[in-house]
Amino acid sequence: MKRLSPPIAARFEIHPNMVSLWKRQTVEGMSSLFTGKANRHDVSQETRIKELHEKIGQLTVERDFLARAFGR
């Protein structure tokens, strides 16, 4: 008799609901892999990250300027 392997959730010690959620997200997102929507999302996310890095740089320069101006 063939022995069945344990369910994925038990094997990796995670809650079964997480496996169900990940599976549903995967199935729903598969169509975007073939239509190019996933790539557009990645590009917009990269753009947002670039904008945030620029803002961090700007705020750092302003903070340093004000720190020198007030002698801190």
Rounded Cα gap, residues 60 and 72, in angstroms: 15
Evaluate whether 18 touches 9 at the Cβ level (below 8 Å).
Answer: yes
pLDDT in tens, 5-34: 678 888 888 898 999 999 998 888 887 777
* Lowest-pLDDT range of 15-24, 32-41, 55-64: 32-41
Confidence of residue 44 (pLDDT cuts 50, 70, 90): confident
Confidence of residue 38 (pLDDT cuts 50, 70, 90): low
Domain edges within the chain: 34-72
* Better-predicted residue by pLDDT, 54 or 12: 54
Q: If you compute the radius of gyration of the chain from its CA atoms, what whole number of angstroms results?
A: 24
